[in-house]
Amino acid sequence: MQSRSLKQLDRLTVAQPLPVSEDTDSVKELATTSLPADTKNPTEPRWSPPKNLAAERACLLRQTLERHRDERQIVILQDFPDPDALSSAWTYKLIAEQYNIGCDIVYAGALSHQENIALVKLTNLPAQRWTSQTLKNKDLSGYSGFVLIDNQGTTSQLMPLVQQAGIRPTAIIDHHQMQVELQPEFADIRPNIRATATIMTQYLQAGLLSFDSSVGDHVKCATALMHGLRSDTNGLRQAQEEEFLAAAYLSRFYDHQLLNAVLQATRSNRVMDVIERSLKNRVVQNNFSIAGVGYLRYDDRDAIPQAADFLVTEENVHTAVVYGIVHDEDEELEVVIGSLRTTKLTLDPDEFIKEAFGQDSHGRFFGGGRMMAGGFEIPMGFLGGSNENPDYARMKWQLFDSQIKQKLLKLVNPKDNPLANK
């Protein structure tokens, strides 16, 4: 799954993130090396370089799409896609259609958060659930390449099977830290950007697709992008200039009534039950609230981040971590899923989670994060499943609950034995 070298491909077009101070110079260098000799005369310019990094990358993406005109691509999302991923993938699909490229947007997990379900249903967003078993029975020979949107393949069960089928990575567009070396033709990975929806909107602003308020799919996609921006910036409260500029552009096209309908989706009884369990089981130390919620169905895993969102609002709490054991009946697997939410500006969720849980035998971290939020996923291996015996199931939960609390509280209050007072 993970390539260990960075050999250049013949058609490689990689747009790696650059420090802001280098953007202008890099664009100038691109322009200089791309111009014929007679156009280097400043008095007679025949070509104007892109004005900024976003425009440069939009230009590179256009070139990549041109090379794949009339082909089919598979757009892979994380197993449990959020509004940022869903909206960004839809935008890519609409852009690719202009080059007669057909795209299937797929994910392996589930849409369990009520807002995600509402977003897909109310906009008819063209995302499909493909399980690992589904993919084994599909003919993938018609796909010329795969595209990763808002992820880098590490959070998708579909990646190994797609790679085994010999499908090459065409593009990666993401706002998370670099995770793997996949050697795509095009890569736009910008951790300094708050949402992938921001990057996709910049492509629109650069002219890769002209939204038209009279076209229904354009209006719905703009609405989805606005939701993606909101969700990844905590209602724009953590937004930067790029997100505000993107939101200003989308304001011309999005349907505010449709967005309100998505945001007003009600929580299910099962989600409320998990929130109740998190309140009952929480341990609060040094302004950290930590809660284990026991066993959850696979389809209910999005209740965990919602519980963390709720706990972090408690008085004198700046960080909340909620976790539980999620059972996937289709794959007969169990994993520990956790979410972190924080309002403390000096706490780095990515650093905190990586320090708490470390890496697996392949060097991959069990979790990570971004500003104000993070998550982790720990496979249970041979201890997974076999919960028919209630005593065994209870003992297994107690074991993992104690271990996770100990790892977290060791960072929260390293001088004390975290479980001494329990």
* pLDDT tens per residue, range 255-298: 999 999 888 876 778 888 899 999 999 999 999 999 999 999 88
Listed in order, the ranges of the chain carrying CATH 3.10.310.30 are 269-412
Q: Which tokens hold the place of 312?
A: 């972090």
Q: What is the mean pLDDT of residues 150-167?
A: 90
Checking if the pLDDT of 31 tops 50, the result is no
Q: Which tokens hold the place of 384?
A: 């997974």
Q: Higher confidence at residue 255 or residue 177? A: 255
Q: Higher confidence at residue 63 or residue 236? A: 63
pTM above 0.75, yes or no: no
Kind plus residue range of the DSSP H or E element containing 127: strand 127-129
State the amino acid at position 127 in one-letter form: A
Measure CA 380 to chain center.
23
Q: What is the mean pLDDT of residues 306-327?
A: 92
Taking CA atoms, 42 is separated from 34, 38, 39, 362, 420, in Å, by 15, 10, 8, 53, 73
Q: Which tokens hold the place of 211?
A: 């939204």
* Contacts of 258 by beta carbon, 8 Å cutoff, 6+ apart: 122, 123, 219, 220, 223
Q: Higher confidence at residue 22 or residue 311? A: 311
Q: Higher confidence at residue 217 or residue 53? A: 217
Q: Rounded to the nearest 10 degrees, what angle do helices 216-232 and 256-263 cross at? A: 50
Print burial letters for 237-264: b (CB count within 10 Å at least 16), e (below 16). Answer: ebbbebbebbbebbeebbbeebbebbee
So what's the architecture of 269-412 in CATH? Roll (3.10)
Using CA atoms, how far apart are residues 134 and 98, in angstroms rounded to an integer? Answer: 29
Taking CA atoms, 347 is separated from 288, 320, 370, 374, 377, in Å, by 11, 12, 10, 11, 20
pLDDT at residue 41, rounded to an integer: 43
State the amino acid at position 91 in one-letter form: T
Residue 130 CB-density burial (10 A; 0-12 exposed, 13-18 middle, 19+ buried): buried
> In this prediction, what percent of the chain has a pLDDT beyond 90?
50
State the amino acid at position 16 in one-letter form: Q
Sign of CA dihedral 116, 126, 84, 180: positive
> In this prediction, what percent of the chain has a pLDDT beyond 70?
83
Using CA atoms, how far apart are residues 311 and 292, in angstroms rounded to an integer? Answer: 12
Listed in order, the ranges of the chain carrying CATH 3.90.1640.10 are 13-263
In contact, 28 and 49? CB cutoff 8 Å: yes
Using CA atoms, how far apart are residues 152 and 173, in angstroms rounded to an integer? Answer: 8
* Contacts of 62 by beta carbon, 8 Å cutoff, 6+ apart: 208
pLDDT band at 126 (very low <50, low <70, confident <90, very high): very high
pLDDT at residue 235, rounded to an integer: 86
The whole-chain average pLDDT of the chain stands at 83
pLDDT band at 42 (very low <50, low <70, confident <90, very high): very low
- 46-60, 102-116, 282-296: which is most confident: 282-296
Please give the backbone phi and psi of residue 103, each rounded to the nearest 5 degrees, phi first: -125, 135
Q: Rounded to the nearest 10 degrees, what angle do helices 390-412 and 349-357 cross at? A: 120
pLDDT at residue 256, rounded to an integer: 92
* Contacts of 119 by beta carbon, 8 Å cutoff, 6+ apart: 83, 86, 87, 125, 224, 227, 262
- The neighbour count for residue 353, using CB atoms within 10 Å, is 24
CATH number of 13-263: 3.90.1640.10
Report the greatest alpha carbon distance in the chain: 83
Residue 159 CB-density burial (10 A; 0-12 exposed, 13-18 middle, 19+ buried): buried
pLDDT at residue 327, rounded to an integer: 80
Checking if the pLDDT of 29 tops 60, the result is no
Using CA atoms, how far apart are residues 58 and 50, in angstroms rounded to an integer? Answer: 9
Numbers of helices and strands, H then E, in the chain: 14, 13
Mapped onto helix, strand or coil, the DSSP state of residue 10 is: coil
State the amino acid at position 4 in one-letter form: R
- The 10s digit of each residue's pLDDT in 353-393 is 999 998 887 777 888 887 788 889 888 766 666 666 788 88
Nearest alpha-carbon partner for 308 in 285, 292, 330, 286 = 292
pLDDT at residue 16, rounded to an integer: 40
pLDDT at residue 24, rounded to an integer: 37
State the amino acid at position 321 in one-letter form: V
In contact, 387 and 327? CB cutoff 8 Å: yes
pLDDT band at 134 (very low <50, low <70, confident <90, very high): confident
* Contacts of 256 by beta carbon, 8 Å cutoff, 6+ apart: none
Using CA atoms, how far apart are residues 207 and 209, in angstroms rounded to an integer? Answer: 5
